[in-house]
Amino acid sequence: MVIRQLFPFPKAHVWALSLAATLPLVMGSTAAVAQTQTAKNSKPLSNSESLLRGSSSSANRGAPRRRLGGGSRIPQSCAEGPQSMAMIAPADNVTVTTSIQPSLMLWVNQSSDARDLEFVVRDAADEPVYHKVVTLSDEAGLVTLDMSEWNDAPRLTQGEDYYVYMSLVCDASDRSKDIVVEGALSPVDYDSWLALEPMDPEPAVSLGDLAPIAQAERYAEVGLWHDAMAQLNQLRQEGETVAIRQEAQRQWQALLEADDELAVIAEATKQVMSPVAIAEAGEAYSFE
Protein backbone atom coordinates (compact mmCIF):
# COMPACT_ATOMS: atom_id res chain seq x y z
CA MET A 1 0.00 0.00 0.00
CA VAL A 2 1.43 3.33 -0.93
CA ILE A 3 1.76 6.22 1.48
CA ARG A 4 -0.94 8.20 -0.28
CA GLN A 5 -3.55 5.61 0.75
CA LEU A 6 -2.40 5.56 4.37
CA PHE A 7 -2.13 9.29 4.90
CA PRO A 8 -4.52 11.49 2.84
CA PHE A 9 -2.89 14.70 1.69
CA PRO A 10 -4.23 18.12 2.78
CA LYS A 11 -6.97 19.47 0.54
CA ALA A 12 -6.71 22.71 -1.32
CA HIS A 13 -9.47 24.53 0.48
CA VAL A 14 -7.77 23.94 3.85
CA TRP A 15 -4.57 25.56 2.61
CA ALA A 16 -6.49 28.37 0.93
CA LEU A 17 -8.18 29.23 4.22
CA SER A 18 -4.83 29.11 6.02
CA LEU A 19 -3.27 31.31 3.39
CA ALA A 20 -6.05 33.88 3.58
CA ALA A 21 -5.84 33.98 7.37
CA THR A 22 -2.07 34.18 7.69
CA LEU A 23 -0.80 35.96 4.61
CA PRO A 24 -2.21 39.51 4.29
CA LEU A 25 -0.20 41.73 1.94
CA VAL A 26 2.70 43.45 3.63
CA MET A 27 5.57 45.06 1.73
CA GLY A 28 8.79 46.35 3.22
CA SER A 29 12.56 46.05 3.12
CA THR A 30 15.01 43.31 4.01
CA ALA A 31 18.66 42.56 3.44
CA ALA A 32 19.81 40.16 0.75
CA VAL A 33 21.55 37.05 1.98
CA ALA A 34 25.28 36.53 1.56
CA GLN A 35 26.01 33.02 0.37
CA THR A 36 28.96 31.21 1.95
CA GLN A 37 30.63 27.94 1.12
CA THR A 38 33.32 25.96 2.85
CA ALA A 39 35.12 22.76 2.01
CA LYS A 40 36.14 20.35 4.74
CA ASN A 41 37.76 16.94 4.65
CA SER A 42 35.37 14.06 5.18
CA LYS A 43 35.45 11.67 8.10
CA PRO A 44 34.78 7.95 7.55
CA LEU A 45 31.44 6.87 8.92
CA SER A 46 30.29 3.42 9.97
CA ASN A 47 27.27 1.36 10.95
CA SER A 48 24.68 3.08 8.74
CA GLU A 49 23.44 -0.29 7.55
CA SER A 50 20.09 0.04 9.36
CA LEU A 51 18.93 2.86 7.09
CA LEU A 52 20.56 1.67 3.88
CA ARG A 53 19.40 -1.93 4.13
CA GLY A 54 16.13 -1.31 5.95
CA SER A 55 14.64 -3.46 8.71
CA SER A 56 12.14 -6.29 8.98
CA SER A 57 9.43 -3.98 10.30
CA SER A 58 9.96 -1.08 7.94
CA ALA A 59 7.74 -2.33 5.11
CA ASN A 60 4.62 -1.88 7.24
CA ARG A 61 5.64 1.20 9.14
CA GLY A 62 3.43 3.74 7.29
CA ALA A 63 4.57 7.32 6.91
CA PRO A 64 7.40 8.31 9.29
CA ARG A 65 6.39 10.96 11.80
CA ARG A 66 9.67 12.30 13.17
CA ARG A 67 10.15 15.87 11.96
CA LEU A 68 12.10 16.95 15.06
CA GLY A 69 15.35 15.42 16.27
CA GLY A 70 17.19 15.67 19.55
CA GLY A 71 17.26 14.30 23.05
CA SER A 72 19.19 14.06 26.29
CA ARG A 73 21.85 11.72 24.82
CA ILE A 74 22.86 14.16 22.11
CA PRO A 75 26.39 15.48 22.68
CA GLN A 76 26.39 19.24 23.02
CA SER A 77 29.36 19.30 20.70
CA CYS A 78 27.11 17.97 17.91
CA ALA A 79 24.07 20.24 18.15
CA GLU A 80 23.03 22.35 21.10
CA GLY A 81 19.53 22.17 22.58
CA PRO A 82 16.96 19.39 23.12
CA GLN A 83 15.35 19.90 19.67
CA SER A 84 18.54 20.23 17.72
CA MET A 85 17.31 19.45 14.20
CA ALA A 86 13.98 19.92 12.43
CA MET A 87 12.81 18.83 8.99
CA ILE A 88 10.87 21.56 7.16
CA ALA A 89 7.90 19.43 6.13
CA PRO A 90 4.09 19.75 6.33
CA ALA A 91 2.21 18.74 9.45
CA ASP A 92 1.36 15.25 8.17
CA ASN A 93 5.04 14.75 7.28
CA VAL A 94 4.23 13.77 3.70
CA THR A 95 6.19 16.04 1.38
CA VAL A 96 4.22 16.32 -1.86
CA THR A 97 6.25 18.06 -4.56
CA THR A 98 6.17 18.67 -8.29
CA SER A 99 9.97 18.30 -8.44
CA ILE A 100 11.56 14.99 -9.38
CA GLN A 101 14.80 16.19 -7.78
CA PRO A 102 13.42 18.14 -4.84
CA SER A 103 15.17 20.65 -2.63
CA LEU A 104 14.66 19.49 0.96
CA MET A 105 15.20 21.74 3.95
CA LEU A 106 16.04 21.26 7.61
CA TRP A 107 17.12 23.40 10.53
CA VAL A 108 20.18 22.52 12.61
CA ASN A 109 21.39 24.11 15.83
CA GLN A 110 24.99 25.18 16.23
CA SER A 111 27.75 22.83 17.31
CA SER A 112 31.33 23.08 18.50
CA ASP A 113 32.71 21.61 15.28
CA ALA A 114 31.77 20.58 11.75
CA ARG A 115 29.56 17.48 11.56
CA ASP A 116 28.48 15.02 8.90
CA LEU A 117 24.90 14.70 7.67
CA GLU A 118 23.81 11.45 6.07
CA PHE A 119 20.92 11.65 3.58
CA VAL A 120 19.10 8.46 2.51
CA VAL A 121 16.16 7.97 0.13
CA ARG A 122 14.27 4.66 0.07
CA ASP A 123 11.35 3.64 -2.10
CA ALA A 124 7.96 2.34 -0.98
CA ALA A 125 9.27 -1.23 -1.11
CA ASP A 126 12.01 -0.17 1.34
CA GLU A 127 14.78 -0.50 -1.25
CA PRO A 128 17.65 2.04 -1.27
CA VAL A 129 17.38 4.72 -3.96
CA TYR A 130 20.01 7.27 -3.00
CA HIS A 131 22.66 7.84 -0.36
CA LYS A 132 24.70 11.00 0.23
CA VAL A 133 26.95 12.26 3.00
CA VAL A 134 27.76 15.94 3.33
CA THR A 135 29.73 17.87 5.92
CA LEU A 136 28.03 20.82 7.60
CA SER A 137 29.74 23.78 9.18
CA ASP A 138 29.37 24.37 12.92
CA GLU A 139 26.83 27.17 12.40
CA ALA A 140 23.14 27.15 13.28
CA GLY A 141 20.81 27.71 10.37
CA LEU A 142 18.87 26.32 7.47
CA VAL A 143 20.36 23.47 5.45
CA THR A 144 19.12 22.97 1.89
CA LEU A 145 19.68 19.56 0.30
CA ASP A 146 19.03 20.23 -3.38
CA MET A 147 19.10 16.96 -5.31
CA SER A 148 19.18 18.83 -8.62
CA GLU A 149 22.67 20.12 -7.73
CA TRP A 150 24.14 16.62 -7.26
CA ASN A 151 25.30 14.91 -10.44
CA ASP A 152 24.79 11.45 -8.97
CA ALA A 153 21.26 12.09 -7.66
CA PRO A 154 18.50 10.12 -9.43
CA ARG A 155 15.32 11.54 -10.90
CA LEU A 156 12.43 10.33 -8.77
CA THR A 157 9.28 8.96 -10.39
CA GLN A 158 6.09 11.00 -10.23
CA GLY A 159 3.27 9.00 -8.70
CA GLU A 160 5.64 6.86 -6.63
CA ASP A 161 6.18 7.23 -2.89
CA TYR A 162 9.51 7.43 -1.09
CA TYR A 163 10.95 7.84 2.40
CA VAL A 164 13.75 10.25 3.31
CA TYR A 165 16.06 10.07 6.32
CA MET A 166 18.49 12.74 7.49
CA SER A 167 20.96 11.70 10.18
CA LEU A 168 23.29 14.14 11.91
CA VAL A 169 26.28 12.02 12.88
CA CYS A 170 27.39 12.99 16.36
CA ASP A 171 29.72 10.05 16.98
CA ALA A 172 30.89 7.99 13.98
CA SER A 173 31.82 5.12 16.29
CA ASP A 174 28.36 5.00 17.90
CA ARG A 175 25.56 5.66 15.42
CA SER A 176 22.93 5.26 18.16
CA LYS A 177 23.81 8.87 19.05
CA ASP A 178 22.72 10.13 15.62
CA ILE A 179 20.06 12.84 15.48
CA VAL A 180 17.55 11.54 12.93
CA VAL A 181 14.58 13.15 11.20
CA GLU A 182 12.51 11.33 8.61
CA GLY A 183 9.51 11.80 6.40
CA ALA A 184 7.57 10.58 3.38
CA LEU A 185 8.16 12.06 -0.08
CA SER A 186 5.76 11.93 -3.02
CA PRO A 187 6.60 13.56 -6.37
CA VAL A 188 3.47 14.42 -8.37
CA ASP A 189 2.57 15.93 -11.72
CA TYR A 190 1.15 19.42 -11.16
CA ASP A 191 -1.81 19.07 -13.52
CA SER A 192 -2.66 15.59 -12.25
CA TRP A 193 -2.50 16.88 -8.68
CA LEU A 194 -4.90 19.71 -9.49
CA ALA A 195 -7.33 17.19 -10.96
CA LEU A 196 -7.49 15.46 -7.57
CA GLU A 197 -8.09 18.65 -5.60
CA PRO A 198 -11.52 20.29 -5.04
CA MET A 199 -11.00 23.60 -6.81
CA ASP A 200 -13.13 26.75 -6.97
CA PRO A 201 -15.03 27.12 -10.25
CA GLU A 202 -12.45 29.52 -11.73
CA PRO A 203 -10.40 29.27 -14.92
CA ALA A 204 -7.19 27.29 -14.54
CA VAL A 205 -4.19 29.47 -13.72
CA SER A 206 -0.93 28.72 -15.48
CA LEU A 207 2.04 28.92 -13.12
CA GLY A 208 4.11 30.39 -15.93
CA ASP A 209 1.79 33.40 -16.08
CA LEU A 210 2.27 34.21 -12.40
CA ALA A 211 4.94 36.29 -10.70
CA PRO A 212 7.27 34.29 -8.39
CA ILE A 213 5.47 35.33 -5.19
CA ALA A 214 2.11 34.52 -6.75
CA GLN A 215 3.47 31.11 -7.74
CA ALA A 216 4.30 30.37 -4.10
CA GLU A 217 0.81 31.49 -3.06
CA ARG A 218 -0.68 29.25 -5.74
CA TYR A 219 1.28 26.25 -4.49
CA ALA A 220 -0.04 26.86 -0.98
CA GLU A 221 -3.61 27.29 -2.21
CA VAL A 222 -3.63 23.89 -3.94
CA GLY A 223 -1.99 22.02 -1.06
CA LEU A 224 1.60 21.88 -2.32
CA TRP A 225 3.05 23.15 0.96
CA HIS A 226 6.61 22.04 0.27
CA ASP A 227 6.78 23.70 -3.14
CA ALA A 228 5.43 26.91 -1.62
CA MET A 229 8.09 26.84 1.10
CA ALA A 230 10.92 26.02 -1.31
CA GLN A 231 9.87 28.90 -3.55
CA LEU A 232 9.59 31.31 -0.62
CA ASN A 233 12.95 30.25 0.80
CA GLN A 234 14.64 31.07 -2.49
CA LEU A 235 12.79 34.37 -2.91
CA ARG A 236 13.45 35.60 0.63
CA GLN A 237 17.16 35.25 -0.09
CA GLU A 238 17.43 35.98 -3.81
CA GLY A 239 14.31 37.95 -4.78
CA GLU A 240 14.95 40.65 -7.38
CA THR A 241 13.68 43.51 -5.24
CA VAL A 242 13.58 44.43 -1.57
CA ALA A 243 9.79 44.24 -1.64
CA ILE A 244 9.83 40.69 -3.03
CA ARG A 245 12.34 39.52 -0.42
CA GLN A 246 10.32 41.13 2.36
CA GLU A 247 7.06 39.58 1.23
CA ALA A 248 8.63 36.16 0.78
CA GLN A 249 10.13 36.38 4.27
CA ARG A 250 6.77 37.29 5.78
CA GLN A 251 4.93 34.48 4.03
CA TRP A 252 7.66 32.01 4.99
CA GLN A 253 7.26 32.95 8.64
CA ALA A 254 3.47 32.86 8.48
CA LEU A 255 3.36 29.31 7.12
CA LEU A 256 5.85 28.11 9.74
CA GLU A 257 4.00 29.87 12.57
CA ALA A 258 0.78 28.11 11.55
CA ASP A 259 2.45 24.79 12.47
CA ASP A 260 2.91 24.32 16.23
CA GLU A 261 5.97 22.07 15.87
CA LEU A 262 7.76 24.36 13.42
CA ALA A 263 6.89 27.67 15.06
CA VAL A 264 10.31 27.73 16.74
CA ILE A 265 11.87 27.69 13.27
CA ALA A 266 9.85 30.76 12.32
CA GLU A 267 11.32 32.55 15.32
CA ALA A 268 14.83 31.42 14.42
CA THR A 269 14.53 32.50 10.78
CA LYS A 270 13.02 35.95 11.30
CA GLN A 271 16.22 37.35 9.89
CA VAL A 272 17.57 35.95 6.65
CA MET A 273 20.81 34.16 7.52
CA SER A 274 23.57 32.80 5.34
CA PRO A 275 22.71 29.14 4.72
CA VAL A 276 24.70 26.53 6.61
CA ALA A 277 27.73 25.73 4.50
CA ILE A 278 27.85 22.27 2.93
CA ALA A 279 30.87 20.35 1.68
CA GLU A 280 30.49 16.91 0.09
CA ALA A 281 32.02 14.16 2.19
CA GLY A 282 31.70 11.03 0.06
CA GLU A 283 29.80 7.82 0.79
CA ALA A 284 29.63 6.44 4.30
CA TYR A 285 28.57 2.93 3.39
CA SER A 286 28.55 1.15 0.02
CA PHE A 287 25.50 -0.83 -0.97
CA GLU A 288 24.16 -2.55 -4.06
Mean pLDDT, rounded, for 208-229: 93
pLDDT value for 111? 86
Residue 224 has pLDDT above 50, yes or no: yes
Comparing 27 with 140, which gets the higher pLDDT? 140
Residue 18 has pLDDT above 50, yes or no: no
Residues 132-153 pLDDT 10s: 999 998 888 899 999 999 999 9
pLDDT value for 178? 86
Confidence bin at 59 (pLDDT 50/70/90): very low
CATH class of 3-280: mainly beta
Residues 230-243 pLDDT 10s: 999 999 999 999 99
Residue 48 has pLDDT above 70, yes or no: no
* Nearest-angstrom CA–CA distance, 130 and 136: 19
Amino acid of residue 76: Q
183 close to 208: Cβ distance less than 8 angstroms? no
Residue 63 has pLDDT above 70, yes or no: no
236 close to 274: Cβ distance less than 8 angstroms? no
pLDDT value for 214? 94
pLDDT value for 68? 78
pLDDT value for 279? 79
Residue 206 has pLDDT above 50, yes or no: yes
Residues 250-265 pLDDT 10s: 999 999 999 988 888 8
Residue 203 has pLDDT above 80, yes or no: no
Q: What residue ranges do the domains of the chain occupy?
A: 3-280
Average pLDDT, the chain: 75
Residue 61 has pLDDT above 80, yes or no: no
Choose among 260, 277, 248, 287: nearest CA to 32: 248
Confidence bin at 197 (pLDDT 50/70/90): low
pLDDT value for 40? 31
228 close to 212: Cβ distance less than 8 angstroms? no
Starting at the edge strand that comes first in sequence, how are the strands of the sheet with 278-280 ordered? Answer: 94-97, 179-187, 162-169, 115-123, 128-136, 278-280
* Nearest-angstrom CA–CA distance, 214 and 220: 10
Of the listed ranges 31-35, 223-227, 264-268, 281-285, the least confidently predicted one is: 31-35
76 close to 47: Cβ distance less than 8 angstroms? no
Residue 195 neighbours by CB under 8 Å, 6+ apart:
none
Comparing 44 with 127, which gets the higher pLDDT? 127
Residues 89-143 pLDDT 10s: 999 999 999 999 999 999 998 888 888 999 999 999 999 999 999 999 888 889 9
What phi and psi values does residue 91 have, to the nearest 5 degrees? Answer: -60, -35
CA separation (Å) from 218 to 10, 16, 147, 195, 208?
Answer: 14, 9, 23, 15, 11
115 close to 169: Cβ distance less than 8 angstroms? yes
* Nearest-angstrom CA–CA distance, 5 and 22: 29
